[in-house]
Structure 1
Amino acid sequence: MEVGDSLSADDRDVRLAALERTRDAVVIVDHDGHLRYVNAAAESTFGLDRTGLLGRAVGALGHDELGARIVQAAFAAVDPDRPLGQAGFEITIGRQDRRAVRAAVSVSRAQVGSGDYAIAFVRDITQEVEQREGIAALMTVAERASRAVLVTDRDDIIIYTNPSFTRLFGYSAEETKGRHAGELLAGRHSNRRTIASPAPDIDDEGSEQQILLYAKDGGEIWVSAEVKGLRDGRGVALLTDISESVQLRTLQQLTLSALADEIPITELADRMCRFVEKIAPDVVSSLQQIESGLVRPLGGPGLPDEYSRALDGVAIGPEKGSCGTAAYFGNPVLAIDIDTDPRWQPFKALPLAAGLRACWSSPIKAKDGRVIGTFAFYFRECRAPSRWHERIVDACVHLGALAIERKEARAQIARLAYYDMLTGLPNRARLRDLIAQATGTCPPGQHVALAFLDVDNFKDVNDTLGHAAGDDFLVAFAQRLREQIRPCDMLARLGGDEFVIVMPGRNASEAGLVASRIAEALALPLGIGTWQVPMSASIGISLYPDNATDIDVLIRQADTAMYQAKRSGRSTYRFFSEDMNGAAEERMAYSAALRNAITFDLLELHYQPQIGTRDGAIHGVEALARWNDPVLGAVSPAKFIPLAEECGLIEQVALWSIRAACRQMAAWRALGLDIPCVSVNLSPINFQNPNLADLVSDILAELRLPPEVLMLEVTEGVIQNERSLAIETMNALRRLGVGLSLDDFGTGYSSLSQLAQLPIRELKIDRGFMRDIAHQSSARAVVTAVVRVGQSLQLSVIAEGVETDEQFALLAELGCDAVQGFLYAPALTPAAFELWLVDYSARRGAAMSKRVAGAPIPALPELRAAAMRRLG
């Protein structure tokens, strides 16, 4: 464009230099709508290269509406005699890179020489608009917020309060505006230093503190104040009334502390009720458990003993006072006048005699929705509960649920010690009592037959159809056995695929007939999905007192006879006899082969991954021993581990496993594979070795591995024998830094008090609990109990045998830390595991990338720009 003659060349250069350096986009358009000038800032704003734009129509900026409005603002419908007319507007500019820019446009009309020109200053106000809209949204939220909101300037002068502030303190917004916050809210007992001027000392993260403030009427209010200082010097405080919460928090701490100390539930309930009556002196409280539809009082020190005894054992129902009715319907029940309430008529005499006129009872529910208790308030006058009473009961219902569920969990865990979760049959620990009971009551001249059953080819079912199918198989197998025995006979599951039948009053002939019937009953294949799975068992029988009078000897003899049945072609039975040496010979052969395998490193370790439930990361791997003998073939760990214990090789197997697993970890680390830790199974016998920690330390030092990469798994039986030595060995390992994991938790030892003393870092939920977790509330309750035990003891919890997404989702919801099972991978050879890990990492990375790609683009950082004087 041409500049007037009144300006010197230097003046023009200065003006053009100023236009080039301004941060606003500057566009000059002539009267015909052609671009005469575009500065450097305009290139950034419009996302265009200004080369070649001069002389072109204003639409070349890529935004027809903007060009039209610039021309219209400068030239249309204006006084032609106005030399420097100005107009402004806001507009959204769509750039070629698809970024939307909100801009403020200021248009000036200028006459230079004989021509008219439109000079447009375009400023990017995208962030200003976002902040403006954000503040408006925040104000809307603040107006509706349940918490009191207080905003002050840099001098702590109130500039805004919301309606919740008015409701809490009694001051209207007009009464607070312009007042000093500290002077308005501080009172006689307030810490004035705390509330004097919080904002200057608060960073962007904010802080939270408890402060005593005063309402307009002079009432004390304890508030939790979350204070945050803003960059412009203002302060924002979110205030929550905690006057009652302080007392409820004390009640909660009292109860949780009692739970942690394993105080008996009756004492815990009494403590809870006494504290409630202290903070609400106008009530008498009581806590009841509901067991099998009956009321069982747990605590109520303020009630007459005679009344509490009368409540014990009362069946719940629609007309059973407040507690029985609340438990029956699962809803709170209020009897404002016990004397006239029809639900109380059979029971009113005792409470009325104690001066109790009204009763409000609330049901206590477990996580699965069952009513497991009630919490009741008795009043000495006919009245309804206050808001304070309601808050107390809300807290007590929650705490009562924790206490009662813990009691149920402990009872369930105790049951786990003696019963098999999969089949419901007595387990190995209970079997000894059953045999002792049968032999102890056996009349002279009578017999007790003991049948030891082992499922034939069960490993093929697990390997072919998976563990879920294997569990279905075992449940059906147990059911067929039940159908073939008398009510007085006793069936137990030892574990795995081994069962024992105790048959009082059976001689050899009668026991043989039972075994024959069992073989016939098992001949029919079992349908699992589309598969017809053959079912058979090898059975060994021993007789009391003919073969032995010692329980362990009887079981061992039946086991020996069972192995003879397997060698005889399976699906048959054999009686134990003194000349039955084949089993002993077989044990000798297996022992020699196992010793040879250890000496020449013929055992193998396979690795099964453990996956974290929170983020899907590799939690670790479990090393599982495998033995494939060139003569004996594949030997199950369930066979050779007990054999190693029996023949004194378990120490060598354990040290070989630890060394092999650590050697593999060192190799993976050298390859750059990030595997946090490896778990190695040990026998309880290994912990009777006082030098175990030193041996492990030497292996770790030799391979230059940190101790935390090794996790040693033990079963609950580790402390059944040589307890003090086992605990001492475990403590030595933990001091070394090696992790300890309690494997197959719930299948054996289960004392919570002693469990808390074990120096373990991890609990593993037995795979047998997984089968019905998605379908049965009882199975889910057991798993929940185990997870809660781990959480209460601050232990990691891992679930084994996870095979479905539904199982994984339930475990993740419960807070189980990690899972392992066929859902991700079986136990793999090192090479196969490496391939699996690469594939899993790739799939996980792809999933993460997909999520990131779909995430919204984060807001640009706030920019600060100095204001520029308009040129004209």
Structure 2
Amino acid sequence: MEKKPSQSLLNVYSQENLLAVLDRISDAFVALDRNWCYTYMNKKAGEIFGRDPISMIGKHIWTEFPEGIDQPFYKAYYKAMETQQYIYLEEYYPPFNKWFENNIYPSAEGLTIYFRDITSRKLEEQQIRIDKARLLKAQEIGQLGYWELEKNKDVIWGSEKACELFGFAPVAAEIPISKIEPLIKEIDKVRSAGQKLIQEHMKYDIEVQICPENQDIPRIISAKAEIAEGLFGNNKIMGIIRDITEQKRIEMLENLEKSVLQHYVQPDSSVEELITFLLNGLRDIHPDMLCSVLKVENGRLYNWSSPHLPEAFNKEVEGTKIAIGYGSCGSAAFLRKKVEVSDIFHHPYWDHYMEIIKNFDLRSSWSYPIINSKDVLLGTFAIYHKSIRELSKEEENSIDRVRRILVYVMERKLAETEAKLYKEKLELVFNSTNEIMFLIDIEKDDVFRFSTINKRFLDATELSKEDIEGKLVEEVIPNPSYSLVLSKYKEAIEKRTTVSWEETTNYPAGEKKGIVTISPVFNEDNECVNLIGNVHDITDRKKDEEKIKRANEKLKINNELIIEKNKKLKEIAWYQSHKVRAPVARIMGLINLIELNKKNGDSNDDLLGYVLQSAVELDEVTRDLVEKISDSDAL
């Protein structure tokens, strides 16, 4: 038996016209009787269900599609049937993995349902929602505010963030331009950029300072805009704004740090100049801050640099006592911690200066002790404001960063100044001593280089500073002396002790002899970085020792000659007393006998012979004696 559409439809249209219309419409169409059986299904519905429309007539919907039971469509169909009210429904159908739009029309005879596959549209809507969420998240992360302005209108539409940046309620809304312009400090800059954008299509990318509604602290915003095109038409300006106050603050602080460090390395820069430079830089970032640095001297605080405070005030508080009640600085120095006074006139830390402070337009202050790495109090760093207020987080961050720079610069510059004075004293001693002194830098791979020498070194060697300082040791000290020097350097480093040796080296001043003493210097990493040396010049002493040696050798020879001569003289004396005297005595005796014989008239012939014999003997002895005396004189 052939299945036919419901009689109700045939009552309105002829079967032929009705089927033609329903099959041509783009929507899927089905009709159900009160027993939930299909009375009609058009071609589009059959394509969606994957069924033959004719074969579905008379079949029960939930028997054919049991997976649809308890789905939202199932419930909507029953509700429409019960209430006899039209229901519109967009819902996801898991069995088909598709979204469907349903127009459900109930009647006494059943349901007529028009539906269409809206999966593509839903996916597009979902993507739009995702893109919008991403855009909102990006704006949130980037702190971006979005705004629109239609040409020739006097209101601006702003997103939540845009309104919030200007101090309005954080709700997307239209804000009259007349309420926005007074908040912009550089309004002419904004107007000029807007005119160039509209008239010349020039880039709108500016940074301006604003004072948000009901806020005391100004902000810096970046604004970018362009004329809308495409779907937005060309009668609208669309733009974004972003609070770049913190970014600018950090950039300015970084630039300040670089500038301070560049100023710091200048050899003639003083501590006072560096402090003043830093305080002025901080005020450029925060114009409302009045900055001051006091230094500790003899247990009190004295002005070091206070470029933003009245000179009369500085004089009144000069020599502040380090104790509680003597202003923020005296109290901070005593407590050795930060002191915050948001209302000077009503704070006990200012009791001793209350009469003084009344004469000056200062209402709040913050003071920080400046303590170096050795826990020594150097001074205080203070910030004053002309109003009763608290510091913002950004201001505290700036102050903390500047304070760290201040401590760093002050500690090192003071240390440098102290080291400079010490060096000058050391150089005075260094160049006043009669000892040759030098400092050796040790580079990698046991490379030794002269770093510093004293005046005595130059005088002794007749070399110039350029010939020595900065030169390698081997370039100054030639071999073979260098080999000895190098071995002694290494010995001192390895044994970590002072080493001495005697050295002879040829310089332009001639050969120099000296006793060299070196001591190694080690750094915190236990690496030997320097050798300190001195040379005791013994050149003259060595020359004197050589003279003495030669004189001693000559004296020794002379002594030996004298001894030999004395020996000869003794021999001569003995010879005289024994050899010479004997013939002389005989002759003298014979002469006496001759005289006696002559008186007695006796003959002397024999006696004269004896005299002649003794004279001959005496002559021989005399010749021997002369020869011995000649030998003695030769000595």
Identify whether the pair has TM-score above 0.5, normalized to the shorter chain: no
Q: Between the two structures, name the one with larger relative contact order (CA 8 Å, sep ≥ 6).
A: 1
- TM-score tier after normalising by the smaller chain length: 0.3 to 0.5
- Which protein has the bigger helix share? 2
Larger Rg: 2
Normalised by the length of structure 2, the TM-score is 0.43
Normalised by the length of structure 1, the TM-score is 0.33
